[in-house]
Amino acid sequence: MSRYIKFEILAIALLVCAAASALSCSTILEAQQQSSGDARFRGWRTNTLKRSVDLSEIVSGGPPKDGIPAIDSPKFVPVTDARSWLRDQEPVIALEVEGEARAYPLQILIWHEIVNDEINATPVAVTFCPLCYSALAFDRRLDGQTLRFGVSGLLRHSDMLMYDRETESLWQQFIGEAIVGDLTGKKLRQLPAQIVGFAQFAEGHPEGRVLSRETGHRRDYGKNPYVGYDDINATPFLYRGRTDDRLPPMEKVVAVEIDGKSKAYPHVVTRKQRVIHDRIGQQDIVVFHADGAASALDAPVIEKSKETGSTGVFDPRIDGRQLRFRYDKGGFVDVETGSYWSILGLAVSGELKGKQLRHILHGDYFAFAWFAFKPDTEIYRG
């Protein structure tokens, strides 16, 4: 486009702005800019004029829309079958809905990032953004409609932007909220999920199902395309936001938000203490950190990656009874009854065998990502 034509378009837009009473100049100029072909949104039917963020914060992550294919028709296999290709310490996203437990190996999610699934009649989206190490599960139902999600190829604060195929609104995976498009401002209900080792999932859910490698796509499952990214000295990919000097950007944290109050527990602390009893607002919580899971973003082959451990955050009360825990031989023992608990918050032996602690929504994230969305977070120092 020549400079003359650009000036002519600008002049016309300004004249229209002056004559229009219902629309602001900035709105018309934005519409002109989009219609002229912003490469980020070319081929999209997203309503970019409706949004809660500045479009300049959105960047291309490299792959185009659906260049990273979501899994829409997931297949599952029994735990026993998955043992032939999934090692004990390989990380999986553990999700239980209405008594049915499923594991989503990160060796598969790292290549697809979204699984559109249904568990006990509950439509769910199981998501993983490798750049933030954010593994989040959501209920796909919204205002009486069931959404299906794909990978946009776009990033904001280095976090994946999902899109729903119904309106092509863009959703910030980290917070489960639509930020651009007709559904802007809508939020998905988050479901409690945690990253644990495959053996830990299998022990707690021997009848559970595991996402199969039969995805309909050919990928190097078990390989890590982000070699070395899980390094505390690494640099976040395409991150343009502010960094918080309180922690290295790539330090992992166990992060919790309750009633608008956020707190982050650095892995360097949780790995050492193993059990942390704390209180956020009016809610007592207990944070567990046990060995048993490798990083998905370290070595070229995930099963050979460094140990990072598994974490869980729970309400320490059972049947109105407050429990206190200590770490013991890879698991957790409550002082009151001597019952032994797994990283999944399940009592596996003792007086309380079979009891399940209530999950508190939490995640294991790189610190920069959590601070980008929750800058007022308090840090637990131990």
Taking a C-beta distance cutoff of 8 angstroms, is the pair 163, 46 a contact?
yes
pLDDT at residue 36 above 70? Answer: no
Mean pLDDT of 66-79: 97
Per-residue pLDDT at 329: 86
Mean pLDDT of 353-375: 97
- Alpha-carbon distance of 294 to 303, in angstroms, equals 7
Q: Using 50, 70 and 90 to split pLDDT, how confident is the model at 32?
A: very low
| Structure tokens belonging to residue 229 | 């990214």
pLDDT at residue 33 above 80? Answer: no
- Alpha-carbon distance of 79 to 210, in angstroms, equals 6
pLDDT in tens, 226-267: 999 999 999 999 898 888 999 999 999 999 999 999 999 999
Name the average pLDDT for the chain: 90
pLDDT at residue 22 above 90? Answer: no
pLDDT in tens, 149-169: 999 999 999 999 999 999 999
Per-residue pLDDT at 14: 35
- Alpha-carbon distance of 67 to 208, in angstroms, equals 30
Non-local (6+) Cβ contacts of 94 within 8 A are: 101, 102, 103, 193, 194, 195, 196, 200, 201, 204, 205, 344
Nearest to 55 by CA among 63, 46, 64: 46
- Do β-strands 134-139 and 275-280 pair in parallel, antiparallel, or remain unpaired? unpaired
Nearest to 149 by CA among 158, 159, 134, 161: 161
Element (H, E) at 325: strand 325-328
Q: Using 50, 70 and 90 to split pLDDT, how confident is the model at 303?
A: very high
Lowest-pLDDT range of 84-93, 235-244, 287-296, 307-316:
235-244
| Domains of the chain from N-terminus onward | 1-36 (no CATH), 252-379 (2.102.10)
Per-residue pLDDT at 154: 97
Per-residue pLDDT at 120: 94
**Strand, helix or coil at 96?**
strand
Mean pLDDT of 68-87: 98
- Alpha-carbon distance of 164 to 177, in angstroms, equals 11
pLDDT at residue 281 above 60? Answer: yes
Lowest-pLDDT range of 33-42, 52-61, 125-134:
33-42
Per-residue pLDDT at 25: 33
pLDDT at residue 354 above 50? Answer: yes
pLDDT at residue 37 above 70? Answer: no
- Alpha-carbon distance of 162 to 114, in angstroms, equals 8
Taking each helix axis from N to C end, the angle separating 25-35 and 3-19, rounded to the nearest 10 degrees, works out to 140
pLDDT at residue 361 above 60? Answer: yes
Q: Using 50, 70 and 90 to split pLDDT, how confident is the model at 330?
A: confident
| Structure tokens belonging to residue 194 | 């945690």
Per-residue pLDDT at 236: 92
Nearest to 8 by CA among 43, 26, 32, 27: 32
